[in-house]
Amino acid sequence: MVSYKKLGFVNTRELFKKAINGKYAIPAYNFNNMEQIQAIIIACVETQSPVILQVSKGARDYANQTLLQYMAQGAVEMMKELAREKKLKPIPIALNLDHGDSFELAKSCIESGFSSVMIDASSEPFEKNIEITKKVVDYAHKHDVSVEGELGVLAGIEDEVSSEVTHYTKPEEVEEFVKKTNVDSLAISIGTSHGANKFKPEQCTKNADGVYIPPELRFDILEEVEKRIPGFSIVLHGSSSVPVEAVKMINENGGALKDTVGIPEEQLRRATQSAVCKVNIDSDGRLWMTAAIRKVFVEKPAEFDPRKYLGPARKELIAMYKHKNENVLGSAGKA
Ligand code: G3H
Ligand code: 13P
Ligand code: ZN
């Protein structure tokens, strides 16, 4: 058993309390490789933002769970060095299992030093979801690890997370779920979805500048949830905004992405004013990384040193994470 506290991670409890009171959200960024984790740390230290590093089941399978674990530990040391160098404060870092799908997986992460785990049994019937989530909570709390549960199912298809349609969270279920499981935070489904293909242009209206505006998130559900569990930590998954600039850059450099629309940043900003205190973003990073790499390949076809295309990709990621912290989630300066 490795204690996350010894490794320098924090659990999410204190982070969430401060975020709800301060009306901002903690960024939860996924990583699978070195450039992504470097970019997250650099951006969060330079903007002085707390951060949640997320590892999905797919990431563990892709990059090797042990290597990812050590990369996250290395990130804590890198953060300290960077903060010292720049005469800035060290930032709090939590390490979270994203979309854990079994007790065994959650337990293995807790034993290897994760400070937080998500158990996503949201596709199970309500009672079964309670049972699985409670089992994880009972184990996690013995080690002071925080647990995120989920009610409602987001649409979207990715490696390990998939549903064709949205099942909105039923506000009438949240109180019983939270009470019976003793979970620390709750992911809800209010119209966000996983992946880069969130809304088709035909589902949207156009504003005066010709920008596609998707149907608004179900803030009515969020409000109803907040009434039933006042002050309880709420999480939004599927919160990438799918920047048109990134999609354009990909397609101008040989890509073939369909026109797609993400979650408008104003709506995410609005959500951070509520009990939403954790916002998950992965796809936007994937898009910017792909855009930067494609651009190098087109402009310098003779280039074959990975540092020469992964370096520019890392630069785009740093800019994106800083933008999210400063202009969308409001977490900058809250370390
Ligand atoms: O919500 C899912 C995350 O974006 C992780 O995706 O399962 O493809 O690693 P993944
Ligand atoms: P996006 O696909 O919108 O980035 O969502 C990521 C996510 O929810 C990770 O759990
Ligand atoms: Zn998710």
Helix axes 306-323, 34-46, angle to 10 degrees: 40
Residue 99 vs residues 16, 32, 119: alpha-carbon distances, Å:
19, 15, 6
C-alpha to C-alpha distance for 212 and 335, rounded to whole angstroms: 34
pLDDT of residue 156: 84
pLDDT of residue 320: 98
- Among 98, 184, 282, 284, the one annotated catalytic: 98
188, 225 contact by CB (below 8 A): yes
Count Cβ neighbours within 10 Å for each residue of 201-229 and write b for 16 or more, e otherwise. eeebeeeeeeebebeebbeebbeebbeeb
pLDDT of residue 135: 98
State pLDDT tens for residues 281-315.
999 999 999 999 999 999 999 999 999 999 999 99
User: Is 169 a pocket residue for ligand 2 (Cβ < 6 Å)?
Assistant: no
Residue tagged 């156009």 (tokens): 206
Surface-to-core class of residue 172, CB atoms within 10 Å of its CB (0-12 exposed, 13-18 middle, 19+ buried) = exposed
Q: Which atom of ligand 2 is nearest to the CA of 195?
A: 2
pLDDT of residue 128: 98
User: Is 30 a pocket residue for ligand 2 (Cβ < 6 Å)?
Assistant: yes
pLDDT of residue 157: 64
Amino acid in position 261: V
User: Is 286 a pocket residue for ligand 2 (Cβ < 6 Å)?
Assistant: no
Rg of the chain on CA atoms, in Å: 19
Report which protein residue has its CA nearest ligand 2's atom 9.
Answer: 280
Task: Compute, in angstroms, the gap from residue 300 CA to the centroid of ligand 1.
Answer: 31
Residue 59 vs residues 35, 85, 182: alpha-carbon distances, Å:
14, 31, 28
Task: Compute, in angstroms, the gap from residue 176 CA to the centroid of ligand 3.
Answer: 23
Task: Compute, in angstroms, the gap from residue 291 CA to the centroid of ligand 3.
Answer: 22
Could you tell me the mean pLDDT of each successive run of 10 residues in the chain, 335 residues long? 97 98 98 98 99 97 96 98 98 98 98 98 97 98 98 80 86 98 98 95 92 95 98 98 97 96 97 98 98 98 98 98 98 98
Task: Compute, in angstroms, the gap from residue 83 CA to the centroid of ligand 3.
Answer: 30
Residue tagged 């089992």 (tokens): 135
Is 144 among the residues known to form the active site? no
State pLDDT tens for residues 211-240.
899 999 999 999 999 999 999 999 999 999
State pLDDT tens for residues 40-67.
999 999 999 999 999 999 999 999 999 9
Residue 239 phi, psi (nearest 5): -110, 25
Q: State the SS3 of 194-257.
A: CCCCCECHHHCEECCCCCEECCCCCHHHHHHHHHHCCCCEEEECCCCCCCHHHHHHHHHCCCCC
Measured between its terminal Cα atoms, the distance across the chain in Å is 28
Amino acid in position 262: G
Report which protein residue has its CA nearest ligand 2's atom 3.
Answer: 238
Q: Which atom of ligand 2 is nearest to the CA of 239?
A: 3
Report which protein residue has its CA nearest ligand 1's atom 5.
Answer: 56
pLDDT of residue 80: 98
Q: Which atom of ligand 1 is nearest to the CA of 158?
A: 8
Domains of the chain: 4-328 (3.20.20.70)
Angle at 62 between CA 56 and CA 63, to 5 degrees: 90
pLDDT of residue 163: 79
